[in-house]
Amino acid sequence: MTLRVYNTLTRSKSEFKTIEEGKVRMYVCGPTVYDSAHVGHAMFALVFDIVRRYLIYRGYEVDYVMNFTDVDDKIIDRANRLGVDPFELAEKYIEEFKHNLRDLNILPASEYPRATNEIDTIIKMVSQLIEKGSAYIVDGDVYFRVETARDYGKLSGRKLEEMNAGSRIRVDERKENPMDFAVWKKAKPGELAWDSPWGSGRPGWHIECSAMNLSHLGEQIDIHGGGNDLIFPHHENEIAQTEAITGKPFARYWMHNGMMQLKGEKMSKSTGNLVPISEFLNEYSGDVLRLLVLSSYYRSPLTFNSEVVEANQRALERLLSALRPAQPGAAGASKAVLDVLAEQLEATQQGFVESMDEDFNSAGALGHIFDLVRAINQARAEQATDEQLAPAQTGFKLLTDVLGLELKATELTTTGADAFIDLILALRKELRQEKLYQLSDHVRDKLLKLGVIIEDTPQGSTWRWE
RNA sequence: GGCGACGUAGCCAAGUUGGCAAGGCAGGGGUCUGCAAAACCCUCAUCACGGGUUCGAGUCCCGUCGUCGCCUCCA
């Protein structure tokens, strides 16, 4: 069995082979931190977290770097408007985003570099570009000369001649070619800036990522990820710069996730149709958002609306049903029933890997997991005991762990509550034996309002948190 | 206008090299239950449209219509 990965560079799937045996160097473009992150940002983080977790499951050691762009026009503008220090503003949103990542059960990156810590590397790289003739200085700005990059456009599938720069924005007359882009920007008066051989200024957006790759992962990496809105110009330019300097192919696999759609269009700050991560998490668990992402192909646009969110909330509850204990007083299931369960466990494990191996087909993998859920619930209905359910439940949990699902039944601060609820159930049992159903239903309703679900079976009653 | 992705049941969505259309949510029927809930069982599509290739196409080719992304900061 081999893992196949879709590569934007070749526009096809190919077998995944790392530069170094057993080790994956992976870089993912993080957010520009000038505001709170929304669920669209969560999507890229979740997608690549799933990729990373699966690579680990497949036995790779993964070096995972996610950057923060902490200096750019928007941060400066916002800071100026709020009258705060741009560094502090960026710092605040970096911390907030990291907090979001934790809430979403996303594994911490090996490193979280940020642009402002890479200035030395950036200046060195810009100097190299100028020396090689790949960049030129104009009045304190430094531009990359795209015509020196022979295969410029190879990632986005554009040809230099076909690009009509300036169709929507004024072209800077000082540039040799309209498509040339800034690697160093001259500082405006009073703006935060660093000294450089070309005067005071700050790095262009694209060079930051090139620099962070170089200093944290090296000249060549295995996977470069990000949203598909970054393909052009950001990633195209990253390739041009890095390869101009190293003379070597930069990233082996370029992976791009699709955009999250809200009301039929891309969720973004500029259009204002967004849902902050923290707002979402006030109502739903991180698992719901993760399940939403898992339920479709990462490269496709993802539909986000209340109906879909609710459906995934219910789907999550179904996954949780597999982990419930045996029925009270279960007599034990027959060998035939247990054989079916064991077979399904094996089929699910195999199907899971087959799906995930095919460019991380998480939706297909989930389908196999749901088959196992049904099998477990069937066995339980057929009187399987906890011991008999255990192997399948353990196998189930292992796979959902690979997908990063927590599957924690809601746990309130229930310290000591269990004993009291058990007591109430015992009393309610007496009511039911006396056929005081009105009273026992009343107890059930009241407990439900407190988040306790009671289920009555012929063998007795069970309860769980909502 | 250029480049790219996509169009599968009420909704979301999978479908490897073409060979009887996964899964989830919602809906309908049933088992169980004092009732309810959960769980279990049964049920629910010929794949945008029109051509073509083939013994056979959702799956390949052409065209039409439609949706989305990028071409400007953007996950």
- Give the CA A185 to C1' B55 distance in Å: 66
Answer yes or no: do A271 and A290 share one domain.
no
Q: Nearest residue to nucleotide B72 when comparing alpha carbons to its C1'? A: A169
> What is the predicted pLDDT for the residue at A95?
95
Q: What's phi and psi for A183, nearest 5 deg?
A: -105, -20
- Give the CA A424 to C1' B31 distance in Å: 30
Asked if residue A104 belongs to a domain, the reply is yes
Closest-approach nucleotide to residue A371, Cα vs C1' = B23
Q: What is the pLDDT of residues A174-225, one digit of tens each?
A: 888 888 999 999 998 878 899 999 999 999 999 999 999 999 999 999 999 9
A190 or A39, higher pLDDT: A39
> What is the predicted pLDDT for the residue at A281?
94
Answer yes or no: do A146 and A265 share one domain.
yes
> What is the predicted pLDDT for the residue at A169?
52
Answer yes or no: do A135 and A240 share one domain.
yes
Answer yes or no: do A323 and A275 share one domain.
no
Answer yes or no: do A262 and A305 share one domain.
no
Closest-approach nucleotide to residue A432, Cα vs C1' = B34
Answer yes or no: do A10 and A58 share one domain.
yes
ipTM at complex level: 0.94
Strands A265-266 and A302-304 turn out to be unpaired
Q: What is the pLDDT of residues A394-415, one digit of tens each?
A: 999 999 999 999 998 654 445 5
Answer yes or no: do A290 and A338 share one domain.
yes
> What is the predicted pLDDT for the residue at A410?
56
Closest-approach nucleotide to residue A262, Cα vs C1' = B68
- Give the CA A98 to C1' B38 distance in Å: 37
Q: Which of the nucleotides in strand B have any atom less than 7 Å away from a protein CB atom?
A: 1-6, 11-16, 22-26, 32-41, 67-75
Asked if residue A410 belongs to a domain, the reply is no
Per-residue exposure over A310-319, b if at least 16 CB sit within 10 Å of its own CB, e if not: eebbebbeeb
Asked if residue A423 belongs to a domain, the reply is yes
> What is the predicted pLDDT for the residue at A165?
47
> Is A82 exposed, middle or buried (CB count within 10 Å of its CB: 0-12, 13-18, 19+)?
exposed
Closest-approach nucleotide to residue A313, Cα vs C1' = B25
Closest-approach nucleotide to residue A444, Cα vs C1' = B36
- Domain final residue pick, A231, A258, A280: A280
Sheet arrangement for strand A260-262: A265-266, A260-262, A302-304
Asked if residue A411 belongs to a domain, the reply is no
Residue A147 belongs to domain with CATH number: 3.40.50.620
> Over chain A, what is the mean pLDDT?
91
> What is the predicted pLDDT for the residue at A420?
83
Interval A338-342 mean pLDDT: 96
- Give the CA A100 to C1' B4 distance in Å: 32
Q: Nearest residue to nucleotide B24 when comparing alpha carbons to its C1'? A: A315
d(CA A129, CA A417): 66
- Give the CA A121 to C1' B60 distance in Å: 49
Token pair for A448: 């439900």
Asked if residue A311 belongs to a domain, the reply is yes
Q: What is the pLDDT of residues A129-182, one digit of tens each?
A: 999 999 999 999 999 999 899 889 889 888 777 665 444 455 677 888 888 999
Q: Check whether A29 has a pLDDT greater than 80.
A: yes
Closest-approach nucleotide to residue A166, Cα vs C1' = B72
Answer yes or no: do A83 and A22 share one domain.
yes
Residue A325 belongs to domain with CATH number: 1.10.730.10
Whether the CB-CB separation of A182 and A72 falls below 8 Å is answered with no
Strands A12-15 and A135-138 turn out to be unpaired
Asked if residue A409 belongs to a domain, the reply is no
> What is the predicted pLDDT for the residue at A231?
92
- Give the CA A362 to C1' B24 distance in Å: 13
Interval A114-122 mean pLDDT: 94
- Give the CA A267 to C1' B7 distance in Å: 21
Answer yes or no: do A68 and A204 share one domain.
yes
- Give the CA A226 to C1' B66 distance in Å: 28
Q: Check whether A462 has a pLDDT greater than 50.
A: yes
Interval A250-264 mean pLDDT: 90
Give the domain range for residue A390: 284-402
Answer yes or no: do A11 and A90 share one domain.
yes
- Give the CA A301 to C1' B61 distance in Å: 26
- Domain final residue pick, A280, A299, A322: A280
Answer yes or no: do A425 and A338 share one domain.
no
Asked if residue A337 belongs to a domain, the reply is yes
Q: Check whether A120 has a pLDDT greater than 90.
A: yes
Q: Check whether A77 has a pLDDT greater than 70.
A: yes
Q: Check whether A389 has a pLDDT greater than 60.
A: yes
> What is the predicted pLDDT for the residue at A416?
65
Q: Nearest residue to nucleotide B13 when comparing alpha carbons to its C1'? A: A296
- Give the CA A299 to C1' B59 distance in Å: 19
Closest-approach nucleotide to residue A307, Cα vs C1' = B11
Interval A319-343 mean pLDDT: 93
Q: What is the pLDDT of residues A345-355, one digit of tens each?
A: 999 999 999 99
- Domain final residue pick, A247, A280, A313: A280
Interval A61-78 mean pLDDT: 92
Structural domain total, chain A: 3
Q: What is the pLDDT of residues A415-451, one digit of tens each?
A: 567 878 888 888 888 888 888 889 888 988 888 888 8
Answer yes or no: do A197 and A252 share one domain.
yes
Closest-approach nucleotide to residue A270, Cα vs C1' = B74
> What is the predicted pLDDT for the residue at A448?
86
Q: Check whether A461 has a pLDDT greater than 70.
A: yes
Interval A445-464 mean pLDDT: 84
Asked if residue A407 belongs to a domain, the reply is no
